[in-house]
Amino acid sequence: MSAAAADASSDEARLERVRRQLSDAGQLHLLDGWPSLSGEQRVRLLRQLERIDWPGLSAAVRAVMSGQPPRLGEGYAPPPASVCAGPGGPRDSELRAAGLAAVAEGRVGLVLVAGGQATRLGATGPKGAYNVGLPSGKSLFQLHAEKALRVEAMAGGGPGRIAWYVMTSDSTGPGTEALFRGAGCFGLRPDCVRFFEQGSVPCVDTDGRALMAGPDAVQTSPDGNGGLYRALRESGALADMRRRGIACLQVFGVDNILTRVADPLFIGHCLLERVSMAAKVVERTRPEERVGVVAADTASGGYRVVEYSEMRPEDAAAREPDGQRLLMRAANICQHYFTLESLESVCQPENEVRLLPYHAAKKKVPYWDANAGQMVSFFAMVICVAVAINGC
């Protein structure tokens, strides 16, 4: 058999394997346009289809489409007062000093979740590059970096005391890295900034059918904040944290301009109280606020985030007996604390599957309409993985 014939036979075998996977997953329609594709387009589409976890997508779609919203008092409840704390107490100076000491000793790391694009803000490119309209014209990336530099100075040292791990996506990775390089890492030490990429999942319509981004590509979206754990493990970032001697980390989203980066009070409190995981919250004051809440999980005895889209209207509006404050008011602002040991535990494949539930985010997604021969935009589902905060 000639080399060309062997290659063709191999390609046919690969296509047949993918065809069986798509058939089992109910996604065979993705090959409807195959006969009309060029050779180069077929190579591109086949490579993408081979990289997607089709059984995993099927399980995620079934989970989000068949699951019933949890009910307050049955699936979840307000966190007990005993696990909640806030600033303004008599120990604040002590806690802040403990946090600064950890920074000075190089034991604090930061994980910046920055895989999203700025499309909802009416801009293109990484969300962290967005100019929020300050007179300085500084981007979110620059603002966060400068806050960390200030904490390093408060701790009595120069740049490099804090290690940065910046999670990007396939759509934001190159732009983010180029921006950091072009800006001299915003004053951070380049050898203390590491980039890693989260995974992606196909976007699906309300019937669970995967969408196309063109005749030769599946439309995908980043796999949610919970994709952090697999990305940390598979990229080697987790091993790098261990090598650097990091003891604890703050995880935060790029789009919160008010984030207290490397917050010494928050970190010091967690260190002195010897907690393995913690989440910052703000008070939710209106039932219609589109924000998830940190809740006690009545089934596992741990804690979870209940997304606003999962809350029944009557549960979202439930109030304390005096009728004043909302019962479920611990609004999740995507700022978390982990010891390295707890993060390593969550990142293990068996715990990742056990602890990270799937959510469906309904968004207006552009996709390829084969009948119209053009891109259209319609509401579809983006399957997201939730952040684990309940430990192992």
pLDDT digits (tens, 9 = 90+) for 54-103: 888 888 788 777 766 778 888 899 999 999 988 998 999 999 999 999 99
- Residue 32 resides in a domain: no
Strand pairing of 303-306 and 293-297?
Answer: antiparallel
The CA-based angle 120-252-74, given to 5 degrees, is 90
The CA-based angle 34-36-40, given to 5 degrees, is 75
The residue ranges of the chain whose pLDDT is under 50 are 3, 386-392
- Residue 25 resides in a domain: no
Domain limits for position 162: 52-385
CA atoms within a 13 Å half-sphere pointing along the CA-CB vector of 352: 16
- Residue 6 resides in a domain: no
- Residue 36 resides in a domain: no
Strand pairing of 220-222 and 303-306?
Answer: unpaired
- Residue 200 resides in a domain: yes
Domain count, the chain: 1
- Residue 314 resides in a domain: yes
pLDDT digits (tens, 9 = 90+) for 196-233: 998 888 888 888 899 999 999 999 887 777 788 889 99
- Residue 13 resides in a domain: no
- What's the pLDDT score for residue 126? 87
Q: Is the dihedral of CA 96, 329, 381, 121 positive or negative?
A: negative
- Structure token digits, residue 36: 């009309």
- Residue 39 resides in a domain: no
CATH number at residue 369: 3.90.550.10
